[in-house]
Amino acid sequence: MKDKIVNLLVIGILTLLGFIVVGDFLVALKENRPVDSSIINLLQVTITGLIGIIGTYFGMNSNKKE
């Protein structure tokens, strides 16, 4: 059950992040402006958070096997 929750969480966050980033890139392209720096910051923070979530999940699974 935890496998499905972690997978759903990661896929959902990446999907939402993808929509936000693609939307901002399209608006920036249409308005001929640079990409908003807050979107780049959002990408960095979100990817760091996902690495933490996935790392914790794998760490918990390795403890159970030992």
Residue type, position 17, single letter: L
Summarised one tens digit per residue, pLDDT across range 45-64 is 999 988 988 888 888 877 76
Where helices occur in the chain by DSSP H, the ranges are: 2-31, 37-65
pTM value is 0.72
Summarised one tens digit per residue, pLDDT across range 3-56 is 788 889 889 988 999 999 999 999 999 999 998 889 889 989 999 988 988 888
Residue 39 CB: number of other CB atoms within 10 A? 17
Q: Which of the 8 DSSP states describes residue 32?
A: T
CA distances from 5 to 9, 30, 46, 48, 54 (A): 6, 37, 18, 19, 11
* Residue where the block lists tokens 């929750």: 5
